[in-house]
Structure 1
Amino acid sequence: MNTLHFIMDPQCGWCYAAAPLIDVLTELTELSIKIHSGGLFSGVNKGPVTSEFHQQMKESDKRIMALTGQQFSNNYYSTLFAEKDRVLDSDTPISALLAAEFLGIQPLPMLHTMQKAQFIDGRSMSDINNLSLIATELGAETKSFLNALAYFFGNKTNQHIAKTRQLMRALGGKGYPFFVLAHKDGSLTPLDHSGFYSTPELWSAYVKQKLQNNS
């Protein structure tokens, strides 16, 4: 099986922008998709939103909406985005993705539901109560999810982030999202998605061509 390595961060707006690109690739039966989380706001990068970065985020959101049609709702801006003490945190949602996968929940639906909860519904994906609700909606038992979340939070999440960053460095990745196609013969092909945000169908054709070139 060919594998698409999707290197991203749950808090990254451009990774949310790439959701339609991921969705269209789930239709390719010869391709599996594996998520790797890079910890955009982890460690020393975790912290409150400065006024300067707040404005940068808003401008980036506008570009994303214009280019892809992915929405950042008024509810998001009036609640979560407007919180003066909001902390940008990638560790908690990454731990939730690892916990969900451990419990047999597919990571992509978990990620997409987390993104929708935050950017559409205005419910933080760093809030454990919100994450627990999402996991139970997708079939997990609440206590099992919370136990798994506690198990992964900390060292195991840090190890996952470190491995993801190592993979990015080895393959020349410069930012999120980053896509790498792993062929059945073990060879790797980095994919340039930047020109396809508004044309998922052309992106799918591009990936199919890369698969055929190595078949």
Structure 2
Amino acid sequence: MSTTVTYLFDPLCGWCYGASPVVQKLGQQSAFTLELAPTGLFAGGGRTMDADFAAYAWSNDLRIAKLTGQRFTEAYRQNVLGRHGSRFDSATATLALAAVALTEPARELETLKVLQEARYVQGLDTCDTTVVGQLLRDQGLTDAAHRLAAADAELLAANAARIGQAQALMRTFGVQGVPALVVTDAHGRRLLRGNALYGDVDQLLGDIAGAWASQ
């Protein structure tokens, strides 16, 4: 049986952005298949940015930057966290990833990185459909951009199915937050918690391969 590594994440999760360098390396491996599983953790709910939430997010971001070396720029702090009253909702970015999965699935992981860096480095509002659509077009993902703008029934159903499957995995393993990995292989399924994505890549690859004792 081949090995599949399912990556539980949300495109607005700062810790998931912190894990991005390791996740990108996982996507380059030929020994297993990396499957993206957006959880919808920050999709919907009507949350908006305010001073308290912005301060909480920035303090978290500083911790992530210190641990991982990932950049959280002043442009992000001013134009995203500083836009009080703007939406904090990953629904658009999550739907965009579903559109890429339907049109050019091999580029979904790359697109996640583009969306994350657009927010945390460029300071763009990736909760905005127009902004996300332009990011897709800039990457040559024209079909995905069209699908996102139209949001047809097939795309909405695919997106809902992906989120449902991810949330079912979270319930199965008692996962409360993201990022996290679920490894499926000949030995069954096991959870690797998010902190595995901030350590030694070779050790993580060994764990995925079963060289370390599974949980």
The answer, yes or no, to whether TM exceeds 0.5 is yes
Cross-structure match for 1:9: 10
Structure 1 residues 213, 38: closer, same or farther in 2, change over 3 A?
A: same
- CA distance, structure 2, for counterparts of residue 196 and residue 147 of structure 1: 33
Cross-structure match for 1:50: 50
Post-superposition shift, 1:90?
1.2
Cross-structure match for 1:118: 119
Please list every run of 5 or more consecutive structure 2 residues that lacks an aligned counterpart in the other structure: none
Cross-structure match for 2:66: 66
Cross-structure match for 1:80: 80
Deviations 1:142-196 (A, max 9, x none): xx3344111266555344323321121012212101101111x371121134155
Structure 1 residues 24, 147: closer, same or farther in 2, change over 3 A?
A: closer
Name the aligned partner's letter for residue 112 of structure 2.
Answer: L
Post-superposition shift, 1:115?
0.3
Deviations 1:3-59 (A, max 9, x none): 110011000001111112212223321111111111122232x32123332221111
- CA distance, structure 2, for counterparts of residue 7 and residue 99 of structure 1: 18
Deviations 1:43-91 (A, max 9, x none): 32x3212333222111110100000001111111121221012210111
Cross-structure match for 1:19: 20
- CA distance, structure 2, for counterparts of residue 198 and residue 190 of structure 1: 16
Q: Name the % identity.
A: 24
Q: How many residues align?
A: 209
* Alignment of structure 1 residues 85-164 onto 2, 5 Å: 85-105=85-105, 106-141=107-142, 144-149=143-148, 150-151=151-152, 156-164=158-166
Contact in 2 for aligned 1:20/1:200 (Cα 8 Å) = no
Please list every run of 5 or more consecutive structure 1 residues that lacks an aligned counterpart in the other structure: none
Shifted more, 196-205 versus 15-24: the winner is: 196-205
TM-score normalised according to structure 2 size: 0.86
TM-score normalised according to structure 1 size: 0.86
Q: CA RMSD in A?
A: 2.3
